[in-house]
Structure 1
Amino acid sequence: MKPLDPTNCIDCQKILKHWIEFQLVDEQGQPLVGMPYKLISQGNKKDIRTGTTDGEGLLREENLPPMPVRLWVDAQKLTDEMEFRQLRTVRGPLGSKVRHNAKAQGHSYRYVKIGDLCDQTPVIEGWVKTELPKYHFPDNKFQGFRAVFMDERWVLEVCPYRAWVLLLHHQPEYSLVNAYNQGLMSVLVYANATDNGDKKAKEYRGSVFHFFKEQLLDLSCLPNRIEKKDFQPIVYDVPFRDRYIVVEFIDTEDDLDTQMFYVANSKELIISWRGTASFTDAVITDLNFKPTKLPSDFIGKGRVHDGFWKAFWAGMNKPTIRKASVFDDIKELRKDRKIFICGHSLGGALALIHSVQLKEYNPCLYTYGMPRVFTYSAIMEIQDIIHYRHINRNDLVPGVPFEKDMHNYYFENGWDSFGYAVEALDSPVGRKVASFNTSLNILTPAAMLSNHMDKVKSNDLFLHQGKTVHLYKGEIIYDSTANIVSPINITKKLEFNFYLVPSLLPNDSAIEKFFPNNKQPNKSTSQNIFHHFSGVYMDFIKEKLISLCTPEHNVLYKENMKIFEDKMNQQKNALKEEYFNYQYFLKLEQQIGLRLSFSQESESGKRALAYFSYNEKANQD
């Protein structure tokens, strides 16, 4: 005879006198009403209790033995409902008002994911993996929620079934949030698909797949790792079905070493191109500046930097898992989606070419430290593309290729080596060498090749496209007055970081003086390679964003701006023309503070900025 299992058979009815309650609520404390459930006591597994939660999200079962119970909820109904419940701003247990209230009322409390309650695997739109989303489904066993203590109420705070997405605004006006988030995507693309780009560490954390497939699906905290850097993007929560379902990473490797990624959900397509990161990028792509004639089905007029053009098509022709090529995949994804494109350095150049290709779909392009790509004739055909071109201080890369017609007789006739030599020697550096040789009566190679140089010149200069955004450091150098404490004059320097977006004051007469169309800012004169790094761009933009959206930093920001303005007025005579320059810059600086109003107009924008500002404050406390 099989021995009696006491957990399956309880004969003594005297002990069936216990009860238990569960109250199911979301993170806002709102009840989950009408949820079908199943409850089984380990004291009698054959006694299966079923029902639905009431108007307060409450269920109660009585006449139970003094044994632990397990609770399951209908998987599909719970999943569908929790997609549309919102998160609280403060993540983690300390931010839970539900927990505080439950404890205050003497109830037991647990924070649970939907996977802790589901009775089976729900249908998840767009999910093809065998393993379920690990944050929402900590395991795939569906063992239910186990409660040990009887004769009390358990308050279960259920995490909404949501995901993070980037806050982006598809609009012609400048957006500081776009500048930050698209800038971070321009940094992320320097990582690889499954490692963060560090050749030694090869760490998964910070990689493209880690960011989109794990960080944006983990609601325990905000995403905070971009490549090898600690940056927190501005995100908000959406139903899980609206997450980024398409995540593609492209690396052409030996074929010009082009790298990019693109991601898409039901509403948006985000594309990021990588900048210079290898010898191939620097020599074969960047220095191959030959102005190549554009095909008639692309723009039809003007020329394009040959190295950038070839690198772009190396990426577009790469096969993907989904389609025969990146070109075909994006051609399908672009339909009925808002398109955002970005890139830093070489990546900005490729992003501009891609934006031209997608021109009829109205892409929103933000670039950082990008070089010139097209010549004047082509630029005139693409002026209406939404493009904000960021330049950090005296970054040298936006100054190349030089603002000149670099097409010549030798390029025209297929003698590219001579063509490059002529243009290099006709550059500012080459002319300095030539002037030195002339003083020594030495005939330079440029002089020897110059007979044919001007025969095909058409004054089709390399120019920039897009509206300028200049990240500029203002400085006032002054002598402190001698006093009892310091009996000698000491030279001091006062600095202020100006965020200059001239399109915010389009009718100001100073705009043409400092920011001529399609050219470099006139205040960007000297050249500094250390101003070019993507992390330096993002530190500048992040600092400004924090100064504007967190109250404590905003007070300090306004104080520093007032100090700079006061010192500027004190030093008016010494500053001379620079005084009037700073007057204009202060007007532009005041305008950037209004840029967050676009983000704060929508509920998603308000939530995203609330998440960002709270967590930035928490990180610094």
Structure 2
Amino acid sequence: MAIEEWKVPFFSEKMPACPLRGCWLSFSLVDETGNGKAYGGLAYSVLDSNGQRHIGRLDGDGYVKLANQYRGPLVLTFEAVHESSGADYHGVLQARDHYPLPITELQFRAEHTRFVRNDGLRVEQNPAQEQANRFYQVEVRDLVRHTAHLPPPAPRSYAPRRHALKMMADLGFGPPQPALSGVVLFPNQHSVLEVRPLRALRPMLSTEDGFCALNLYQLALMATLSYCRFGQEPATQPQDEVRFPLDPSIGHLFAEKLSGYEQAWRVDAGQVQRFYPLYEEVAYSRRFEILPFDPQLYPQNSPKLLGEQEHPANLHFFDDEEQGTDTQAFISHHDEVVLISVRGTASAADGLRDANAHQVPFADGIGKAHEGFYQAYRAMREFVLRYLDQFYSGQRIVICGHSLGGAIALLLAEGLRRVKDADYNVLLYTYGAPRAADAEFTGGAADLVHHRIVNHNDPVPSVPAPWMNTTAKLWVPGAVTLFSAPAPAGLLFAAGLVRIGGNPYWHHGEQQHFMPILLPDGTHSSVLWKPGCESLEEAGCNRALYLNGDMPERDNLIKQLFQASQHFMVSSYVPAAWATLRRWQQTLDNRGSLVTAREYALIDHALGTMGRQLQDKQLELHRRRPANGRSHEHYDGLAAEIDRLQVSRQRLESLRWRRLQARDVYGSHAQGANLPASLKRWFSHRENRELSQVASIPPAPHDEHGKGQPLDLDSIV
């Protein structure tokens, strides 16, 4: 049918737009309560069907009405850039040299609204919906062009019609491809757009030097997470976008769950027991960041760079399996913290590195370090420094690691602390870490804040033994001095090492020791304390020392390996850390003491038994008096150990009268505005509502031994 002559100038094959004016359009932006004040004055842009752009600002209630525009559907966007003074964190993100973020004013406003529901799920009805001809549940990503730095969309019942936007673009009078952005509105109707709050969850971490139960638990979870893959798809050479579907994985936790305001509890693939971190709600820009991937915006993301291409996996995740050391770690940051977590032993390459106990100079400081651990540290040093060069803005650098990962983390922390002119402020928590360096290194690193956590029967912190000949090949039968036997009343001490002779390898940091307690109902808990003597710091000793020269009996080694499960994270360290947090929370609330009279009696009796065993061994060595003169060395070592054991008993007694402060439990968050809401969220999970005087450690399933976290058998040699 021929077009009427008067219509011909207004139509073409390329743009079948309607030239007629006379329609009207109104819309409003509201939060989940139906209030639009959060978006008052926000600059908007409307593109009509004739290609004309209408710009303006919403009124104080987030509302605007347009009249006499061209008929047909229109596309609404909010592209105005947030104007920051540069002093706040939004300014830092917008102005940084690497991966500056295109933060719009809409994003800034959405970050300052709140969810109606505590779990972040969308509400069923919005009060503003009654006045609307059309109602949409939108997200910031629906209304802006650049979306790679924004969270994935949450489920919704009233999604905008994306196909309408694409259809308009295909017809030629919408936004051009590939810049397809905006929400399609229809004329002669009032549309209400409910903007989802742009909020995120992040694990709370204290930035203070002092030890606190919060960091003990939170960093145990982060250290466990280091055993997961990064989880990016595609893992290498992405083209247009990246996803993180693997649960659990590092990318999935930070880029999917927490950025979408979903609480996550799985940090290990074989995990059954739910362990929720304490999460604080923050503006989305203040979450632990996983950097965006947008080849259109960032040239370094271009697939054309091939092996030089940057993407989230190679920025946040270090894995040099192909280079032979098989060191693995992840790094992320927000405005207050840079978090680095280093993985423990998980492969044959890790085991070979553990076994290399030869010492080499620590080139980035003083003293000497375990060569295998030092090689792993050097492998990842440049990766960490490159990240800090790009994203460090004065945050506290918090490092954690388990087992082998703890040893590497120690060398990394000291190396960073000594970077010239950087002034990095480092805080270190390690779990079940072996010795990593000699006494000179330990003395030189005295200013490094390091909280070293040892589970009561974990054999790994006992190696490399201080008296080892570190320049020679060491075999399992001559590697460590081991003890194993249960103490009375269900209180267990186990495999450990009495220091006798030289001390080329020294532990660094202030040690915190999990002391197990059997509760009246048969469940287990633990007391966390600082014992102050070698026997306990290295897992205790419960029977006399039997040596043939420096060769322990092989059956002692076998007995200790039966306690290997106490080295794993999800079945030992994490539950013990959780139980400690609950115990300290209850002690703080009740204004009680850290140990009951009954617990004190049990532990004190065991310490007394250990003292008598050491005295018996001391007497035996005195009677032998071998000609080689070694007995004096052993005798003096045991005498010193007996004295330290008395100090430990005095420290234990002090726990009966110690009164906790909020900072002992929550560190820098003790007086924080977010703490009450975070605790309410944490206690909403039934697993955390333990009301007994002592929180018990959940039993581990028979088949759960910390998947991917085998005992460092090779670190014993």
TM tier, smaller: 0.5 to 0.7
What residue in structure 2 maps to residue 253 of structure 1? 321
Deviations 1:536-585 (A, max 9, x none): 32233235446777xxxx59x989x9999476699999999699997655
Amino acid at match of 2:349: T
Alignment of 1:132-281 (within 5 A): 133=150, 135=152, 142-146=180-184, 154=192, 156-160=194-198, 164-194=201-231, 204-216=246-258, 218-228=259-269, 229=271, 231-233=275-277, 234-240=279-285, 243-245=289-291, 247-254=315-322, 255-265=324-334, 268-281=337-350
Deviation, structure 1 residue 270:
2.3
Matched AA of 2:454: I
Please state how far the C-alpha of 1:343 moved relative to its aligned partner: 0.5
1:315 equivalent among 380, 401, 416: 380
Q: 1:470 to 1:524 in 2, by over 3 A?
A: farther
Which deviations, in whole Å up to 9, do the C-alpha atoms of 1:359-408 show, x marking residues without a partner? 34331001111112223333222222111111223122112222x32236
Q: Which moved more, 1:228-237 or 1:255-264?
A: 228-237
Whole-Å separation in 1 of the counterparts to 2:58 and 2:457: 64
Paired with 2:399 and 2:202, the residues of 1 have a C-alpha distance of 16
CA distance in 2, matches of 1:271, 1:191: 14
Q: Which letter maps to 1:154?
A: V
Partner of 2:357: 289
Listed one character per residue, the Cα deviations across residues 127-179 of structure 1 (whole Å, up to 9, x for unaligned) are xxxx564526998764533457966562523433x555443332211133322
Q: Determine which of 656, 668, 674 is the counterpart of 1:598.
A: 668
Q: Quote the offset at 1:276 in angstroms.
A: 0.6
Which one of the candidate residues 418, 428, 434 is aligned to 2:481? 428
The residue that corresponds to 1:300 in the other structure is 366
2: CA distance, partners of 1:92 / 1:270: 25
Aligned counterpart for 2:526 among listed residues 492, 498, 514: 498
Are residues 374 and 82 of structure 1, via their aligned partners in 2, closer, same or farther at CA, if it must alter by over 3 Å? Answer: same
Secondary structure of the corresponding residue to residue 358 of structure 1: helix
Name the CA shift for 1:102/1:293 in 2 (closer, same or farther; >3 Å): same
1:24 corresponds to 2:30: yes
Range that drifts further, 516-525 or 72-81: 516-525
Which is strand-richer, 1 or 2?
1
Secondary structure at 2:39 match in 1:
coil
**Paired AA for residue 340 in structure 1:** V
Shift of 1:285: 1.8
Q: SS in structure 2 opposite 1:263?
A: strand
Unmatched tracts of structure 1, length 5 or more: 125-130, 197-201, 317-324, 431-456, 477-491, 503-513
Alignment of 1:539 onto 2:606: no
Q: Quick check: 1:393 aligned with 2:456?
A: yes
- 1:300-449 to structure 2, matched below 5 A, reads 300-301=366-367, 303-316=368-381, 325-326=382-383, 329=386, 332=389, 336-360=394-418, 361-402=424-465, 404-407=466-469, 411=471, 416-417=472-473, 420-421=474-475, 424-425=477-478, 427-428=480-481
Residues 461, 93 of structure 1: alpha-carbon distance in 2 compared, 3 angstrom cutoff: closer
1:58 alignment partner in structure 2: 63
Looking at structure 1, the residues matched to 140 and 321 of structure 2 have their Cα atoms a distance apart, in angstroms, of 41
Contact kept? 2:458, 2:564, Cα under 8 Å: yes
Cα 1:248–1:70, aligned 2, differ >3 Å: closer, same or farther?
closer
Deviation at 1:56, TM superposition (A): 1.7
Task: Report the Cα distance in structure 2 between the residues aligned to 1:570 and 1:352, rounded to whole angstroms.
Answer: 36
C-alpha displacement at 1:240, in angstroms? 2.8
What does residue range 446-525 of structure 1 map to in structure 2 within 5 Å? 459-475=502-518, 495=523, 497-502=525-530, 514-516=531-533, 520=537
Q: Structure 2: how far apart are the matches of 1:20 and 1:330? A: 47
Give the superposition deviation at 1:50.
Answer: 4.4
Number of residue pairs matched? 519
Q: Give the alignment's TM-score, normalised by structure 2.
A: 0.60
Cα distance, 1:569–1:133 mapped onto 2, change above 3 Å: closer
SS in 1 for 2:453: strand
TM-score when normalising by structure 1: 0.68
* CA deviation map 1:393-452 (0-9, x unaligned): 3122112222x32236xx3xxxx33xx25x95374369xxxxxxxxxxxxxxxxxxxxxx
Q: Deviations over 1:572-620 (max 9, x none)?
A: 9999969999765555695688422631423455565555445x35999
SS in 2 for 1:384: coil
